[in-house]
Each structure stands twice: as structure tokens, then as C-alpha cells.
């Protein structure tokens, strides 16, 4: 889960900085606002995965990365850089870790009863 949260922090921060610079450069804040919100959402979900080991947040990161990759391919008609696949892999591993952690907590809780 640690790698998934680190990837979310890095990806979200980089995305926020990139689109903020685009907004400052072009003045088209309405065009980049949704990307800024998405970047903030990525960082918040990464925090939820790291802090609370949230299964929902890990799944949301995975779905968000997959949808972003698919939409980029649809919009550009090219696969683009393969770094998106690396993020999807890391988020998938974080999702699996969150699921395993929840199962482990359930077993400990049931054994204690």
C-alpha cells in the first residue's frame, strides 16, 4: 500500500503543478479546473490509502488511473507513454494489499472473540 500512496502523491502533485502552470500561462482556468480537482483527488485518495488503508480509496485510484489511460487513448488515438500502465500496476497492488489487510483484520477480530 505504501507504493500506491507514494505513486498517488507523486502523480497528483506533478499533475497539479503541470496544470497550474498551464492555467497561469494561458489564463484558461476553466479548462484546467477539472484536472486540478482530479490531481487533488488523487493526493487525497493516496492519503486515505496510506493512513486508513482504505479499500475504497485504493479501488478509486485504480479505476481513476484506468479511466484516464483509456480516455487519453481515445482522445489522442495513440497509446502514449507507458507510464500509465506502471501507475495502474502499482495501484492494483495497493488495492490487493488493502483487501488483504482488511481480511487479516477480520481474521484477527474473529479469533479474538
Alpha-carbon separation of residue 85 from 8, 25, 80, 93, 112 (angstroms): 14, 29, 10, 12, 41
Instruction: Provide the 10 A C-beta neighbour count for residue 72.
Output: 14
Does 82 score more than 90 pLDDT?
no
pTM: 0.88
State how far the alpha carbon of 64 is from the alpha carbons of 25, 106, 107, 109, in Å: 27, 27, 30, 32
Q: Would you say how long the chain is, in residues?
A: 113
Q: Report pLDDT digits (tens) over 42-75.
A: 999 999 999 999 999 999 999 999 998 898 888 8
> Domain residue spans in the chain?
2-112
User: What burial class does residue 51 get, using C-beta atoms within 10 Å of its C-beta: 0-12 exposed, 13-18 middle, 19+ buried?
Assistant: exposed
Amino acid at each position: 500500500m505504501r507504493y500506491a500512496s507514494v505513486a498517488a502523491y507523486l502523480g497528483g502533485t506533478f499533475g497539479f503543478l503541470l496544470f497550474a502552470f498551464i492555467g497561469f500561462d494561458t489564463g484558461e482556468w476553466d479548462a484546467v479546473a477539472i484536472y486540478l480537482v482530479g490531481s487533488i483527488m488523487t493526493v487525497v485518495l493516496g492519503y486515505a490509502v496510506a493512513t486508513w488503508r482504505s479499500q475504497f480509496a485504493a479501488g478509486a485510484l485504480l479505476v481513476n488511473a484506468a479511466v484516464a489511460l483509456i480516455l487519453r487513448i481515445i482522445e489522442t488515438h495513440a497509446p502514449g507513454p507507458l507510464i500509465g500502465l506502471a501507475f495502474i500496476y502499482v495501484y492494483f497492488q495497493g488495492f490487493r494489499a488493502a483487501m488483504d489487510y482488511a481480511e487479516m483484520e477480520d481474521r484477527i477480530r474473529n479469533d479474538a472473540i
